Amino acid sequence: MRRAIHKNKPHPDIASSLDSLGIVYDAMGKPEKSLEHYEQSLHKNQSHFDVAMSLGSVGFVYYKQKKLNHAADFLEQSLEMLRILNSRNTLHSEISTIGFLLTLVYAEQAQINS
């Protein structure tokens, strides 16, 4: 419906719906469908904050799939964007959540490499 209204152009409503579908598919145990929707959301978002959070969501799905290199790549991009966007010093919980997930990824990578 939102795609019809906005004629498939980038719009935050479409990105939000795609993000929500990604969450639902992830909860249903369908990571590939989840990733598909999160990645579509990345192309529809106009807000840098939303892009940063979508990158984090993609990284989290890859982490749960044990695709640690992909997870690290997306989480690092998310963290970097959030740090840049934090000029008002208000994104503490988002930065700490992504940082925590990145720490988990690094710890698992270290276990594998040792």
CB atoms within 10 A of CB 37: 21
3 state DSSP class of 28: coil
CB atoms within 10 A of CB 109: 14
pLDDT per residue, tens digit, the chain (114 aa), is: 444 444 555 556 788 888 899 999 999 999 999 999 988 888 887 678 888 999 999 999 999 999 999 999 999 999 999 999 888 788 889 999 999 999 999 999 999 988
Query: How much is the pTM?
Result: 0.80
Which domain covers residue 98, as residue numbers? 2-113
- How far, in Å, CA of 41 to CA of 56, rounded? 12
Name the domain count of the chain. 1
> CATH code at 91?
1.25.40.10
Residue 89 is given by DSSP the state S
